Structure 1
């Protein structure tokens, strides 16, 4: 045996929280989700045809997420187009939910948010049309010297789209030279 059989897809995540009500409300709003089942201690939320994508368990007295510790850094949700990513940004902004970091990583255009417990959530769109193009970019010198990306302003991206600049042009990452993990806001 040379390789373990890979799963079909990632089904869900489970988050422990000291405040189920706040977290459930946040994820319902953030993802446009609903509860398939919920009580005072548990919530099973979904936004598509899967029975649940996020489960929440209330454990009173837990501290919020310690940003400087080992473990999960963020979860990511993908959109099909740059326009969809920015539409969701505008909808969240209207609800008072703003990104904590916006970046063109190269392979993706990404907006990072933070939930009430301090967990980070990435919303993203692929910058390349195919996996092969993405892999080629990631194998290249530009990604080698800057695997983090270039900070972007979502309002500027929206302005460019409204001016008719093609999404494929907007998604091209400018070369800003060397940039490492220390440039990520939370490291």
Structure 2
């Protein structure tokens, strides 16, 4: 194996495919609240969702999980799905939607490189909604590498984006 191999810079994560207990409950979150479009539905067993007409960014299925309880928080598995929004204003818009329906947030953070909202979907899967600051604004260590941190995110300041 070659030690100096690096994945190409244009590589990206294509989609997530989640096992859920109830398609309709999951659609209430991913489609109705977050606004992902349904691209295909297979009855009450699977649904594919996207942003902007892509074949799918999120797939949901009940093939092995219909009516199953939430996965244990302690143990191996997915920590969270991270969904990146194109701008700070877009993140503010989804925050407004979440607040309007009193959807519970599990955390909010300014990571220096990004600002993020954290919550669980109806099946207890962690979800991060965030936007990336422009790379030239990312905090740096003295050696030039990225310096991430976790500070409190001012939600009122984020919502002020909607007034601009």
| TM-score normalized with structure 1 length | 0.70
Corresponding position of 2:150 = 149
Confirm or deny that 1:112 pairs with 2:118: yes
1:47-79 alpha-carbon deviations (Å, 9 max, x no partner): 222111111111224221311111211111122
Corresponding position of 2:70 = 64
Superposed CA RMSD in Å reads 2.9
Q: Which has the higher contact order (CA 8 A, sep 6+)?
A: 2
Question: 5+ unaligned residues in a row in structure 1: which ranges?
Answer: 165-187
**Deviation of 1:162 (Å):** 7.4
Query: Residue 30 and residue 69 in structure 1: after superposition, are their counterparts in 2 closer, same or farther (change >3 A)?
Result: farther
1:140-181 alpha-carbon deviations (Å, 9 max, x no partner): 7994xxx5411224124335x5798xxxxxxxxxxxxxxxxx
**Deviation of 1:98 (Å):** 3.8
Query: Residue 139 and residue 123 in structure 1: after superposition, are their counterparts in 2 closer, same or farther (change >3 A)?
Result: farther
Query: Residue 119 and residue 139 in structure 1: after superposition, are their counterparts in 2 closer, same or farther (change >3 A)?
Result: farther
Q: What is the distance in 1 between the residues matched to 2:149 and 2:98?
A: 24
Corresponding position of 1:36 = 39
Note the 1:1-187 alignment, pairs <5 A. Answer: 2-3=4-5, 6=8, 8-38=11-41, 39-58=43-62, 59-127=65-133, 129-130=134-135, 134=138, 136-137=140-141, 143=147, 147-159=148-160, 161=161
Query: Residue 138 and residue 69 in structure 1: after superposition, are their counterparts in 2 closer, same or farther (change >3 A)?
Result: farther
